[in-house]
Each structure stands twice: as C-alpha cells, then as structure tokens.
Amino acid sequence: MFLVLFLMLSKECWNLGSSGIRPVPNEILYGKVGSNFTMPGLEQDQHDGVIEWEFSSVEKPLAYIATYYFDSHIGPDVFSAYNKRISFFESNGSFVLHQLQKSDEGIYYRKINLTKKWIIDLKVYEPVSNVLVYPVPGENSSILLHCNFSGDGDFIYWSRDGKSVPDGWKLMNRNQTLQVPSTEACSLFRCEIFSAYEKKSNDFIYKNEHCKDWTSIKIAAISSVAGLIIIIIIIIIILLVIYFCCKRRKSSHNKLPEVQKLRSDGNPSPQERSQCLLVSAQAAGSHSEKV
Ligand SMILES: *[C@@H]1O[C@H](CO)[C@@H](O)[C@H](O)[C@H]1NC(C)=O
Ligand SMILES: *[C@@H]1O[C@H](CO)[C@@H](O)[C@H](O)[C@H]1NC(C)=O
Ligand SMILES: *[C@@H]1O[C@H](CO)[C@@H](O)[C@H](O)[C@H]1NC(C)=O
Ligand SMILES: *[C@@H]1O[C@H](CO)[C@@H](O)[C@H](O)[C@H]1NC(C)=O
Ligand SMILES: *[C@@H]1O[C@H](CO)[C@@H](O)[C@H](O)[C@H]1NC(C)=O
Ligand SMILES: *[C@@H]1O[C@H](CO)[C@@H](O)[C@H](O)[C@H]1NC(C)=O
C-alpha cells in the first residue's frame, strides 16, 4: 500500500520535474557547441495568452528565460542571464539561443497560459574531430591500436578489413584501445566514432616485416597459379587445333569423291600434310606470342 503510494508520488515528481529527478521529456533535441539553436515555439501563431520559458540542469535547478504576453504591445521579458543570448519570436513564442554552450544542456520547460507544459531535453554536443588511429606498445608481443579523438563520441566501432573485429579481441579504455594478437596484423583497421549527429572514422594499415613476406608469398602463389592455368589453356588449344585439322583432313578423304578421284592411294597428299602442320605451328606460335 505504502509502496504504491510512494510509486505514485515519485511518478508525480518525475512528471513535474521537481526535486532533482529527471522528468520524462516530450522531445529530445540535439545542438552543436557554438551553433545557434532554435527552441520550438507554438505550431500556429498565437494572438493572446502567455508563454513562459524555464531551464533546469544539475548546476542550475531553475532559471527563468523569458515571459511573453502575446496580446501585449511590449516586447518579451527576458531574464538577465539570457538578455544578450536570445532572439525571441513574438509570433509563436519560439527563440534562438546563440552560441550554444555545454552549460546549456538540460531541460527546457515551455508553459502556455501557466499550465500547459512542454518538456524539451536539450543535449549539447562537441562535434567529433581529429579521429586518429595509431599503435601503442602492448604486453605479450600483442599490438595495441589506440583511437584518439576529440569531442563527444557516444560509441566506438572497430573493424578489420571491412568486418567487425572477432569477439575474443580485447577492448580497453571505453573501447578506445583495441588489442590485436600479433599474428593477426597485416590488415586495414578502421575506428568509427558515432555521435548523435555524425560518424567520423580513421583508417590504419598495420604492417610489420612479416606482412611483407605474406604479401610477396601471396603474389608469388597467385602469379604461379595464373601462369599454370594459361599454359594449360594453350596446350588445350594446340591439341584442339591439331585434332580438328587432322579430322578435317580425314573426313575430306572419306567423303569427297572428287578428292578420291584425284588421289589414287588414299593417303593425304604432301601439300595437305604440310598445310596441316603449318596451321598447327601457326596456332601454337600465335598463342605463345600472346603469353
Ligand atoms: C549565430 O547568430 C549570430 C547573431 O545572429 C550570428 O552572428 C552568427 O553568425 C550565428 N552563428 C552561426 C554558427 O550561425
Ligand atoms: C516560429 O517563428 C519563427 C520566426 O518567424 C520561425 O522561424 C519558426 O519556424 C516558427 N515555428 C516554430 C514551431 O517555432
Ligand atoms: C491561452 O489563453 C488565451 C486566452 O487568455 C486563449 O485565447 C489561448 O487559446 C490559450 N492558448 C492555449 C494554447 O491554450
Ligand atoms: C600477458 O600474459 C600474461 C600471462 O600469459 C597474462 O596474465 C596477461 O594478462 C597478459 N597481458 C595482456 C595485456 O594480455
Ligand atoms: C589525442 O586527443 C587529444 C584530445 O582529445 C589531443 O589533445 C591529443 O593531442 C591527441 N593526441 C594525438 C597523438 O593526436
Ligand atoms: C564497446 O564495444 C562493444 C562491442 O562492440 C559494445 O557492445 C559496447 O557497447 C561498446 N562500448 C562503448 C562505450 O562504445
């Protein structure tokens, strides 16, 4: 019973955003440090009633920003801390907050007619920049790759040759440092930093003296296999040429009565024989030139 009451009360506190508990926002918005940020006003232009803006963060539990009466003919009442920092739009109660700072991160309350409350959770980000991957000495002959960057990165993703790194590999330092087994080097490593806005990355090709051997072995193996395949193809072509040439000679001998008439002995004439040899020699010659 008491528990239920407590839960109800704490839920109430949650919704009202009082006493340090973060309220559930109606919307979460993101702004970059140094940018000009537009706080959303009303959907339609308003002609009467009142709008109030308040801000709350851990450092500043409650700060008034501005109050504006739509039907008044005097401008908005902007509180001193924000006087030089905001441009207020009298049509819909929206405002631009200039030169966003880390300290502007927090909860913004928009109240209409003293009751209706809209809660905006503003997250202020330092853009990610200077992403750089470099090796640092590791223990046990392992390689450590460090992904250095500045700004607010939420998530770090490592990949090797386009695939995510194996599950067993150790990640340290909030995933900024990747331990690579020394036998697994010779690859392209990529570090990607994700933030609410963007993705920035940097590549690093890890090479040592073993990698050179590996690549030359690979090249040698590939070229020898390719050479072998080409030689086999040439041999097959030569054999086919010889086969068809001799077959033609045989069939012409069997079928054509004119030829039979011309030749009495049934054996290929010396011209035919030399032509056949010449064709196969030419075929062989042209293919070996190509190689
Ligand atoms: C922010 O607004 C100010 C004043 O209107 C302007 O001078 C500045 O260039 C704006 N900055 C950016 C990043 O848009
Ligand atoms: C409010 O008015 C400003 C200036 O006229 C405009 O930039 C903005 O889009 C309007 N709407 C909202 C929802 O803020
Ligand atoms: C606020 O109150 C005024 C009358 O004072 C009314 O005309 C207006 O529609 C109200 N605004 C909202 C959003 O309820
Ligand atoms: C190095 O090896 C030792 C024992 O083999 C192990 O306890 C230690 O955790 C290893 N260090 C790293 C950084 O993997
Ligand atoms: C690593 O990043 C920090 C800022 O986050 C910077 O001060 C430092 O110079 C960077 N180091 C290198 C080697 O780039
Ligand atoms: C570190 O990487 C693991 C595996 O990719 C991931 O589950 C975890 O959320 C990451 N943590 C951070 C702080 O990036």
Q: pLDDT tens digits, residue range 29-85?
A: 999 999 999 999 998 888 889 999 999 999 999 999 999 999 888 899 999 999 999
Range name among 76-90, 103-117, 254-268 with the lowest pLDDT average: 254-268
Residue 73 alpha carbon to ligand 3 centre in Å: 17
Verify that 43 and 113 share a domain, yes or no: yes
Residue 228 alpha carbon to ligand 4 centre in Å: 46
Token pair in block for residue 151: 């700004």
Q: Is residue 290 part of a domain?
A: no
Angle (CA) 169 175 180, round 5°: 30
Per-residue pLDDT at 124 exceeds 70 = yes
Choice from 128, 169, 175 to test ligand 6 binding pocket (greatest atom count within 8 A of CB): 175
Q: Is residue 177 part of a domain?
A: yes
pLDDT of residue 283: 52
Q: Is residue 51 part of a domain?
A: yes
Q: Give the three-state DSSP class for 276.
A: helix
What is the total residue count of the chain?
291
175: amino acid identity, one letter:
N
For ligand 4, whether the C-beta of 139 sits within 6 Å is yes
Residue 183 pLDDT class (50, 70, 90 cuts): confident
For ligand 6, whether the C-beta of 175 sits within 6 Å is yes
pLDDT of residue 255: 54
Verify that 121 and 140 share a domain, yes or no: no
Q: Whose CA is nearest to atom 3 of ligand 3?
A: 49
Residue 255 alpha carbon to ligand 6 centre in Å: 80
Ligand 3 interacting residues, C-beta cut-off 6 A: 48-49, 112-113
CA neighbours closer than 13 Å in the CB half-sphere of residue 39: 34
pLDDT of residue 186: 80
At which of 101, 125, 149 does a domain end? 125
Angle (CA) 244 250 252, round 5°: 100
Percent composition of the chain: helix, strand, coil (DSSP 3-state, to 5): 35, 30, 35
For ligand 6, whether the C-beta of 171 sits within 6 Å is yes
Q: Give the three-state DSSP class for 46.
A: coil
Verify that 38 and 88 share a domain, yes or no: yes
174 CA: nearest ligand 6 atom: 13
Ligand that lies nearest to the alpha carbon of residue 37, given by its number in the listed order: 1
d(CA 55, CA 61): 8
Q: Is residue 138 part of a domain?
A: yes
Q: Which of 73, 57, 18 is nearest to 65 (CA)?
A: 57
Task: Say which residue, 207 or 10, is predicted with more confidence.
Answer: 207
At which of 96, 125, 154 does a domain end? 125
Q: Is residue 91 part of a domain?
A: yes
Task: Say which residue, 253 or 6, is predicted with more confidence.
Answer: 253
Per-residue pLDDT at 17 exceeds 70 = no
Token pair in block for residue 123: 């997250």
For ligand 5, whether the C-beta of 132 sits within 6 Å is yes
Q: How many domains does the chain have?
A: 2
At which of 199, 214, 229 does a domain end? 214
For ligand 6, whether the C-beta of 36 sits within 6 Å is no
Verify that 74 and 112 share a domain, yes or no: yes
Do the Cβ atoms of 94 and 76 come closer than 8 Å? no
Q: Is the pTM of this model over 0.95?
A: no
Range name among 98-107, 123-132, 276-285 with the lowest pLDDT average: 276-285
Specify the CATH number for the domain of residue 133: 2.60.40.10
Choice from 150, 152, 156 to test ligand 5 binding pocket (greatest atom count within 8 A of CB): 150
36 CA: nearest ligand 1 atom: 1
Domain that holds residue 137: 129-214
Token pair in block for residue 82: 């924000």
Per-residue pLDDT at 10 exceeds 50 = no
Which string of DSSP letters, residue by residue, matches 77-115? EE-GGGTTTEEE-TTTS-EEE-S--GGG-EEEEEEETTT
Q: Is residue 15 part of a domain?
A: no
